[in-house]
A and B are shown apart, each in its own frame.
Chain A
Amino acid sequence: MTQKLFSARGKRPVDEFHRELGKLMWEWCGMSRNATGLKKALSAIPQLRDDFWKDVRVPGSADNFNPEIEKAGRVADFLELAELIARDALNREESCGGHFRDEHQTEEGEAKRNDERFAYVAAWEFKGAAQPPALHQEPLTFEHVKPSQRSYK
């Protein structure tokens, strides 16, 4: 990993990629998101990740204390995780809690749940960089309470 980061020998500092990724996520996968935006994110993030590995500049060396390596390693992780977050957000055809899908709202603009399809806990399995990840689900069953539309009225 460290050797791979150094071997890019590119021009752009790690911070630039971090900020660009942050802007993408804020814009397309923020508190309010929709399928069009999420698809934009899903095409932009892999592009940014490719650029990162081609053009990142990690200064110094690995033989002494070098915070830039740590930062680069984290941003490399973020570039994978961000795509997964966007993928999961696109998959989730409902609004739930703070994750608001514009397409799924009540007439009053409140979050519209879909508990028939989305009452589960899930984990995505990494299937290799070239393959889409696989979704594993475990159903949530509620015996004593029933999830319902939030209302402060």
Chain B
Amino acid sequence: MNFKLRVWRQHDSEEKGKFVEYQATNITADMSFLEMMDLVNLGLVRKGEDPIAFDHDCREGICGTCGMFINGRAHGPLKGVATCQLYMRSFTDGETITLEPWRAKAFPVIKDLVVDRSAFDRIMQAGGYVSVDTGGVPDANSIPIPKADAEAAMDAAACIGCGACVAACKNSSAMLFVSAKVSHLALLPQGQTERKERVRRMVARMDAEGFGNCSNTYACEAECPKEISVVNIARLNREFLRAIVA
């Protein structure tokens, strides 16, 4: 298969970026999207050109490092799939593929398709933890948790923090991410100690980082590679209200 890539190239956060076209040739349908990128970069290095910077790490959909806008959609055309688990068979031979970085004020471009997502780390540092000693592995069984609560907490904990929700949102809101982290801990007994403080601090940090607010378009849920539900955003709003009025 052959593709024409229109790639956002930007030397650093200061420079104004632009689209540059590249050819991706001799690509097989079973190559992953990132393998296709590796091959294009190998060709660029051989020609003495600067390869396209993109983020990647585990390449098995669990680390949250990869992520780019592919043909106008976060993580590309498939539902519930991160960029690294997208394969070239999802594209048609000869297609033009447009690649852009996550675009949000709180995610400045570092280079090309790589953005600085440390704002997410700072939100986590503000409250995404428990300070109670939960003991060793066997102790987990000494705190019975209703099945429904455990399921809801684990669904929220599936968030890999990739930032697709922010990129997909017209307001660049981080509420799906923050709500997943707040829900995960608020639903479990271990998270009760800092329950109110956590939501206050994480929301304050989210606002300070320059993320927008939620206006319920559900674009985040549609593009989330882990299919985190917007139900979590409703829970975040309730948790926040509970923390500031009670």
A residues neighboring B (CB under 8 Å): 11, 13-16, 57, 59-60, 64-68
- Within 8 Å CB of B200, what residues of A? none
Contacting pair A65 B110 (CB below 8 A):
yes
In the bound assembly, the distance between CA atoms of A97 and B57 in angstroms comes to 30
Is B130's beta carbon under 8 Å from chain A?
no
- Chain A residues within an 8 Å CB radius of B53: 65-67
Scan residues 1-34 of chain B and give those whose CB is less than 8 A from a CB of chain A.
Answer: 11-12
Task: Indicate if the CB atoms of B50 and A13 lie closer than 8 Å.
Answer: no
26 A-B residue pairs with CB within 8 Å: A11-B46, A13-B42, A13-B45, A13-B46, A14-B45, A15-B38, A15-B42, A15-B45, A57-B45, A57-B46, A57-B48, A59-B44, A59-B45, A59-B50, A59-B51, A60-B50, A60-B51, A64-B12, A64-B111, A65-B12, A65-B53, A65-B110, A65-B111, A65-B114, A66-B53, A68-B45
Chain A residue nearest to B110 in the complex (CB) = A65
A13 to B51, CA, bound (A): 11
Q: CB-CB contacts of B32-61 with A at 8 A, as 1s and 0s? A: 000000100010111011110100000000
A65 to chain B, nearest CB (A): 4
Give complex CA distance A16, B38 in Å: 12
Residues of A within 8 A of B46 (CB): 11, 13, 57
- The answer for the CA separation of A65 and B122 in the assembled complex, in Å, is 21
| A13, A15, A65, A66, most chain B CB atoms within 10 A | A65
Q: Chain B's nearest CB lies how many Å from the CB of A31?
A: 23
Chain B residues in 8 Å Cβ range of A60: 50-51
Q: How far is the CB of A133 from chain B (nearest CB, A)?
A: 31
A59 to B42, CA, bound (A): 11
Chain B residue, CB-CB nearest to A13 = B45
Q: Given the complex, which residues of B lie within 8 Å of A67, measured CB to CB?
A: 51, 53
Docked Cα-Cα span, A66 to B114, in Å, equals 11
Please give the distance in Å from B215's CB to the nearest CB on chain A.
Answer: 33
CB contacts (< 8 Å) of B50 on chain A: these are 59-60
A142 to B49, CA, bound (A): 58
Determine the chain B residues whose CB is within 8 A of the CB of A13 once the complex forms. Answer: 42, 45-46
B102 to chain A, nearest CB (A): 15
